[in-house]
Amino acid sequence: MLRSLRVNDFALIEDLVLGFGAGLNAVTGETGAGKSLLQRALAIAAGHRAGSEMVRAGCDAARVEAVFALGPAAPGTHARLEALGIPASASGEIRIRRTIARNGRSQVVINDRPATVATLLEIGSALIHLQGQHESLRLTQAETHLEMLDQAAGTEAEATRYRANYGRLTEIVTRLDGLERGAAQLERRLEIARFDFDELQQARLDRADEEATLTAERMRLRNVEKLALAANEAVERLHAADGAALATVQSMARRLGELAVVDTGLEDVAASLEQAAEPLADAVRGLLDYVEGLESDPQRLEEIEERLALLARLVRKHGVADVAGLIDRREALREEIASSASDLADPTALRAELERAADEAWRVAGELSAARRRGAERLAQAMEAELGSLGMGDARFTVRFEPLPPGPSRGAAAVLTRGGAAIGPQGLDWVEFDLAANPGEGARPLARIASGGELSRIMLALRNVAGGAAVPTLVFDEVDAGIGGATAEIVGRRLHALVRRHQVISITHLAQIAAFADHHYAVVKDRDRGRTRTRVLEVTGGERVAELARMLSGSASAAARAHAEELLAGARQEIDSQAAERGARAPGAGPGGRPASAAAAAGAAVAAGRRRR
C-alpha cells in the first residue's frame, strides 16, 4: 500500500509530507484548494505524464517521492522489480523519486537505482490504480469491455489459454499461406536463410563477450611501446636505479633494526619498513615478468582488426546490437530453415497440423464464449443491484454479445471461419456494455448515454462486484459527481467495502463519503509571504468534525457540527456492523443461508462463478 507521499515545489505545493494509512483515506477541501494536485502527484509517481507546467513558480524543479510497502502477498511485483533490474529493499518497500525540471526533463529513481519513465509506468501500474473521470472514460471504449468481463466472470485463465491456441493457429496459417502462394517464393526465402545461417556458422560465434575481449586485446597491442616504457620506468625507479625505492626501504629497515638495540622505540618503525618492502619486491617481480611477456605482435593485431571488422559487419547486416544478438539470430535461422524445409518436403503434414490447431482453437473458443455468457448474466444481475444502491435504481445493465464478421473463404485463413461464424484474437464474440438509464428507454452503449458522474459510479460498481483491481491501492477522484444525500452515503459504504482487498484513497466533496474514512485529510490554501500555497493536514477529533461541518453547510455552526457528529456516528456504526456481519457468516449468506441483500446475493454469485472455474 501507499505509505507516504512527499511533494516539493509542485504547482501550489511548496513542501508537503503526507502519510497514508490502511483502509479508506478521504481527501477533502474547498473547491480550488488543490485536491486535484494530490491526484496529479500520485499519477506522476506512478509514471504518468509530467509537464514542466507543474513546477512551482520561481523554482528549478518539482519533486515527488512516494513510498509503497509491499507485503509477502505481492510476489508478482517483487518478480517484476527483479526482472527490471531494480533491487529490492531490506524493508520490503518501493521508494520512488521523480524530478521534473523546468526544461521538461524528468528523472526517475526507484530504490536508489536510476530508471526510465517506461519502467516506472510498468511498476506503478502494479502498485496504484487511479480512478478518475479520465479512467472512467475507459468504459466508453468498447474494446476494454471484454477485459472487464473476463475479470468479473473469472475467465481470465481461459482467455489466456485461448490466446495461446489462436497464436499457434495463426502462425501455421502464415506458414501455409506462404507455401500456397508459391513454393518458389518459399524456396527463395529458404535459400536466403541458409546463406545467412552459413555465414553466421562460419563466423564461429561461440562467445557473447568475444567483441569486448578482442577490443581489450587490441587496445593492449596498439599500446605495447607505451606500456613497456611505463613498466621499465617503474622497474628502474623501484629497483634498478641508484637510490631505488625498494633498495632504500630494505636498507632503512636493516639500519633501523640494528639501532633498535639502542632504542626500542624504533622496533615498530623498522618492522613496518620491513613489511612494506615485501609487497614492493612482489611488485618488482611482477613488473619484470610483465615486461618479459610484453611484445609487439603485428600479425595478431591484424587478425583482431579483421575479426572485429567482420563482427561489426554482421551486426549491421542482421540489425542486432552485439555478438549475443548474432548468436540468437543464428539459432532463429536454424529453426526457420528446419521449419521451412519440412513444409516444402511435406505440405500435407502442415495442412494436417493446421486442421488440428484449428479444431483445438475452435473448441477452446466455444468453451470460453459459453463461460463468458454465463458470467455476463451474473455480472448484469450484480451490477443492477449495485447500481440501485448507488442511486441508479432504474438503470438496466446488459452485456451485449455480437459475432465477429466472417473472414476469408479461401486459403489457409479460411479455417478461422466456420458455419458463418469467425474466431479472432480474443475469441468468438465482440462484447459491449449497454445501459438503459431510465424506464422505457432501450439499452444503448455506455459511450452514448452515461454522464461523467454515472460513469464513475458504474466503474465503482464494477470494482465491487468484479473483485476490485489487481493492485493494492485504488484512488477515486470525482466518484461523487452528480450525487448527494442518501446516495452519497451508499457510495461511502461501497468505497469502504473495497478496503477488504485494497487501500482506498477518495478525493471527495461530500461529507457523507468522507464520514466513512479511516483517515481524513483536509486540503487548505493560504498565503505566506505574498505566495499562495496548498497544505494538507490530517484531521481527527474536533478538527474532523469541523471539516465535515464545513462540507455540510459552509460553516462550523453548532447545528452543522451536530449533523457532522451524527454522520460520523452513523458511518462508524455501519462499518462495525458490516465487520461483525462478515465475521459471523459466510460471504453472501444471511440468516438461514439467505442472501442479505440483492447486491450481496448477486456479488456472491459472481464470486461463486469465479471459484467454480
CATH number of the domain bearing residue 7: 3.40.50.300
pLDDT, position 168: 93
Q: Is residue 587 part of a domain?
A: yes
pLDDT, position 604: 42
Distance CA 413, CA 181 (A): 13
Lowest mean pLDDT among 130-144, 214-228, 236-250: 130-144
- Which residues lie closer than 8 Å to 211 by C-beta, 6 or more apart? 308, 311, 322, 323
pLDDT, position 584: 64
Angle at 431 between CA 430 and CA 432, to 5 degrees: 130
Top pLDDT among 168 and 84 is at 168
In this prediction, residue 71 has a pLDDT band, given cuts at 50, 70 and 90, of low
Q: Is residue 148 part of a domain?
A: no
pLDDT, one tens digit per residue, over 147-160 is: 889 988 889 999 99
pLDDT at 226 over 80: yes
Among residues 278, 310, 342, which one ends one of the domains? 310
pLDDT at 608 over 50: no
pLDDT, position 121: 86
Residue 295's alpha-carbon distances to 223, 229, 233, 304, in angstroms, are 10, 12, 16, 16
Residues 550, 568, 598, 461: is their CA dihedral positive or negative?
positive
Lowest mean pLDDT among 72-81, 84-93, 455-464: 72-81
CB 554 within 8 A of CB 545: no
Q: Is residue 413 part of a domain?
A: no
Q: Is residue 382 part of a domain?
A: no
Residue 453's identity, in one-letter code, is G
Same domain, 123 and 218: no
Same domain, 235 and 124: no
Lowest mean pLDDT among 187-191, 353-357, 608-612: 608-612
pLDDT at 260 over 50: yes
Residue 72's identity, in one-letter code, is P
Reduce the DSSP state of residue 113 to 3 states and report it: strand
pLDDT, position 588: 46
Distance CA 225, CA 231 (A): 10
CB 503 within 8 A of CB 1: yes
Reduce the DSSP state of residue 154 to 3 states and report it: coil
pLDDT, one tens digit per residue, over 541-592 is: 999 999 999 988 888 889 999 999 999 999 998 888 877 776 665 444 433 3
CB 490 within 8 A of CB 389: yes
Same domain, 113 and 220: no
pLDDT, position 612: 40
Q: Is residue 274 part of a domain?
A: yes
Kindly report the average pLDDT of the chain as a whole number. Answer: 82
Same domain, 103 and 6: yes
pLDDT, one tens digit per residue, over 195-224 is: 999 989 998 888 888 888 898 888 888 888
pLDDT, position 64: 93
Same domain, 9 and 120: yes
Q: Is residue 586 part of a domain?
A: yes
Distance CA 496, CA 488 (A): 12
In this prediction, residue 96 has a pLDDT band, given cuts at 50, 70 and 90, of very high
pLDDT at 135 over 60: no
In this prediction, residue 611 has a pLDDT band, given cuts at 50, 70 and 90, of very low
- Which residues lie closer than 8 Å to 520 by C-beta, 6 or more apart? 25, 26, 28, 514, 538, 539, 540, 544, 547
Give me the percent of the chain exceeding a pLDDT of 70.
86
Checking DSSP bridges between strand 13-19 and strand 113-115, what pairing results, if any?
Answer: unpaired
CB 395 within 8 A of CB 384: yes
Same domain, 21 and 115: yes
Q: Domains in the chain: how many in total?
A: 3
Among residues 128, 148, 163, which one ends one of the domains? 128
Same domain, 12 and 117: yes
CB 126 within 8 A of CB 80: yes
| β-sheet bridge partners, residue 25 | 505, 519
Q: Is residue 604 part of a domain?
A: yes
- The Cα diameter of the chain in Å comes to 117
Lowest mean pLDDT among 77-91, 254-268, 296-310: 77-91
Distance CA 322, CA 215 (A): 13
pLDDT at 517 over 90: yes
Same domain, 123 and 221: no
> How many Cβ atoms are within 10 Å of 478's Cβ, its own excluded?
23
pLDDT at 593 over 60: no
Instruction: Please tell me the pTM assigned to this model.
Output: 0.58
Q: Domain residues for 61?
A: 2-128
Q: Is residue 294 part of a domain?
A: yes
CB 437 within 8 A of CB 455: no
Give the helix/strand (H/E) hosting 386.
Answer: helix 347-389
Among residues 94, 128, 162, which one ends one of the domains? 128
Same domain, 232 and 121: no
pLDDT, position 344: 59
Top pLDDT among 466 and 125 is at 125
pLDDT, one tens digit per residue, over 26-40 is: 999 887 777 778 888
| β-sheet bridge partners, residue 527 | 532
